[in-house]
Amino acid sequence: MEDLPPVDDDHVIEFFPDFGAPSPLWSHLGLTDPRTLGLNEELARRLEAWASFWDDHANTDEADFSNYNLDGDALAQEVANALGSNWAIARPTLHDGGGQRRLIRSSLPPADPGAAKAAEALSGAARERDARIRAIHEAGGRIEQSAIWPRGLTPNVGTRPDAPNGRPA
């Protein structure tokens, strides 16, 4: 892939599974539904299935993760292609012991201009939220953590009710 200009943090979508999270996509506003990004329904369902596999099998010995990273890489590249070269998908590797984080990008214009537009709107919302939080702090105010969680995302995402203390084992 040719050298691409760097992207700012507002144009990075994190891609990883978490217990209880129906999608592997995370924006600066938190867990992100693929449809919020304007991704097509077929890709959204495959992303959700990939996240669900983790949720169902990560704490078991029965799962075969040999293709899980490869499948995740392919899905992340599809998301990058949909959003275009102005975006990066941050992809940590799983079950390899390395814990590396790498950026997956497309060198092409957005394959799905509607998705790129939706992602820009999401990025703008994150910048607005961050500006409001900074203004409150600069004025000496306090903000409760619950006030900055996006609607529908709660601090218990990433927990499993069947694990000790509700946390992954």
3 state SS for 49-76: HHHHHHHHHCCCCCCCCCCHHHHHHHHH
Give the pLDDT confidence score for residue 118 in this predicted structure: 81
Q: How far apart are CA 139 and CA 127, in angstroms?
A: 18
Ranking 32-41, 59-68, 112-121, 155-164 by mean pLDDT, the lowest is 155-164
What digits encode the pLDDT tens for the residues 37-71? 889 999 999 999 999 998 888 878 777 777 888 89
In this predicted structure, what is the pLDDT of residue 156?
41
| Per-residue confidence (pLDDT) for residue 95, from 0 to 100 | 53
Q: Where are the domains of the chain?
A: 9-159
The percentage of the chain sitting over the pLDDT mark of 70, rounded to a whole number, equals: 78
**Cβ contacts of residue 13 below 8 Å, gap of 6+?**
25, 26, 27, 32, 37, 79, 83, 87, 88, 89, 90, 119
